[in-house]
Amino acid sequence: MTDATLAPAGGPLRPTVGFMLSHPAHLVALGFGCGLAPLAPGTWATLWAWLAFLAMQWWAPDQVGGLIALSLPLGWWACTVTARDMKVMDPTSIVWDEIVCFWLVLWLVMPAGFSGQLAAFLLFRFFDAAKPGPIAWADQHFKGYGWRGGFGILADDLLSAFCTLFVLALWRTFA
C-alpha cells in the first residue's frame, strides 16, 4: 500500500483540504497543498519549491541557508506526524521532502541561469522518481514509524539532492 490515508474500511483515500488544515504538521508535510495534487504531487511540489526559491532570491544567501537548515528538522517532525496520522510509512502526498531538498540543490547551484536550474529540476526529479542505487537502498532501509518515519521520508530525497549536485558538478567540470 503506498498512499492509503483516512479510509476506515473502504480502501485508500487521498488526503483532503480538511485533513491538511487539521494540524500544522499536515500543512507543512503536504507542502501547503502541493501534496493534494491528484497526479505527480512530488513534481508539483518541486515546481512550487523552485518558484518559492526564486522569490527568496531577495534574501541574503545565509538567510536562505538558515531557512533550509530549520526546514529539515521541521520537515522531519511534520512528515513523522503526518505519516503516522495517515497510517502510511511514506505516502506520495507528503511532499515536504521534495521542497526542502530541492531548495538545498538550488541554494548550492545558484547563481545559475534558467538552463542550469532546469537541469537541476530534471535531474532531481529523475533521481527522486527512479531511485537508482543508493537512493533505493535508503528508501527501503530508513522507512518506518515513530522518529524513523520522517527521517526515512527525507533520506531518499537528501540522497537525490546529493546525486543531482554530483552530476551537475561533473557536468560543470567536464563541459
> Where exactly are the structural domains of the chain?
17-174
pLDDT, greater one: 105 or 4: 105
Q: Which of 36, 126, 25 is nearest to 80 (CA)?
A: 25
Let me know how long the chain is. Answer: 175
pLDDT 10s digits, 154-175: 999 999 999 999 999 999 888 7
pLDDT, greater one: 138 or 169: 169
pLDDT, greater one: 97 or 141: 97
Task: Give the separation between CA 79 and CA 86, rounded to whole angstroms.
Answer: 10
User: Residue 6: what pLDDT?
Assistant: 44
Mean pLDDT, rounded, of the chain: 90
User: Residue 13: what pLDDT?
Assistant: 61
**76 with 150: CB under 8 angstroms?**
yes
pLDDT 10s digits, 60-113: 999 999 999 999 999 999 999 999 999 888 899 999 999 999 999 999 999 999
Task: Give the separation between CA 72 and CA 40, rounded to whole angstroms.
Answer: 22
pLDDT above 80 for 25: yes
